[in-house]
Structure 1
Amino acid sequence: MDNEIGHEIADALGILLKRTTRTHLHQQLTEGMGEAVDELTYPVLSALARTGPRSAADLAQIAGVDRSGVTRRASRLEAAGLIRREPDPTDRRAHLLVLTDGGQLVVTELRARLAARITASLASWPPGEAEAFARHLRRFMTEGPFA
């Protein structure tokens, strides 16, 4: 295999990983979800759902947002009842951000919306191609450069 396929994949990943690409998708997914749920708070909700309770500092690294950005977004989400702060059992001075039941419901809806968008975008693919793509993408993520 020559490097051409590597360049083609790198170009596609460059588009996929652009902040503007993610922001646009997050805007579409969060439309009508309430004032606190938008393209800015989506990464915080998503990261908490994936990782469980985290400090703002830890969540900043996972969500790709600086700590002060996480703190501001968490305050909005807390005011809306979607997350809460709990004392960190390992550090009495620190707090963990935790999804509430309401926050979990919002994340479930956002994930359903994302899955529906992905499924709709693959509807025109020939039978079996979407399944093969999913298998290969999973393998790429577990064995490729992001592993």
Structure 2
Amino acid sequence: MTGVKQERGVDAIREQLLASVGEQLGTLLSAARALTAASAARFHPDLQPAAFHVVRWLSAFGPAHAGAIAEGVAMDKSAVSRLIRDLKAVGILQAAPDPNDRRATILSLTPLGEKQMKKVFEQKGQVFLQRTQHWSNEELATFAELLRRFNTPPP
């Protein structure tokens, strides 16, 4: 009987710990969404926030076709096409013929787009620096390792 009672106590503790982790992950995701929305507004106030996702994807993965961008940001291709049109209109994106298929277009950031992304990344980086400035290197290493383990699917 003691083993069963002790097991239930361990299960209850684990459930509480998992609930706490879930709560903190929810807080992290909400804060990340808010930071991304603020970054999108700073990136270009005349653009929809979704346009920032397109630019961020291109910044991370480099020049691409519209279809690859739509897939990469998990948006409808027609919605991405409208965002691309808006981004080109304000000088953030440029289009060039695909050298492998002259009928296709490759999209990339303009120097202005790259400059704006660099500015936004620096501002976002300041938020992380402020939140971790009093952490030791060991704490940062532990945090990074735990996040890596959490983000790595089990085999």
For normalisation by structure 2, the TM-score amounts to 0.72
- For 1:100, the equivalent position in structure 2 comes to 110
- Structure with max Cα Rg: 2
| Larger deviation, residues 103-112 vs 30-39 | 30-39
- Is 1:50 matched up with 2:37? no
Q: Which runs of 5+ in 2 are unaligned?
A: 1-10
Superposed CA RMSD: 3.0
- Is 1:137 matched up with 2:154? no
Counterpart residue identity of residue 113, structure 2: G
After TM superposition, which residue ranges in structure 1, 4 or more long, deviate above 4 angstroms? Answer: 2-17, 20-23, 124-127
Q: Which runs of 5+ in 1 are unaligned?
A: none
- Is 1:27 matched up with 2:37? yes
Percent of aligned pairs sharing the same letter: 28
Match of 2:91 among 81, 89, 95: 81
Contact 1:82 1:103 in 2 (8 A): yes
CA deviation map 1:9-60 (0-9, x unaligned): 566556656xx76543222123343334552211101100111111111111
For normalisation by structure 1, the TM-score amounts to 0.75
Contact 2:42 2:120 in 1 (8 A): no
The structure in which a higher percent of residues are helix is 2
| Larger deviation, residues 82-91 vs 130-139 | 130-139
- For 2:101, the equivalent position in structure 1 comes to 91
Q: Aligned partners of 2:149 and 2:42: how far apart in 1?
A: 35
| Larger deviation, residues 85-94 vs 103-112 | 85-94
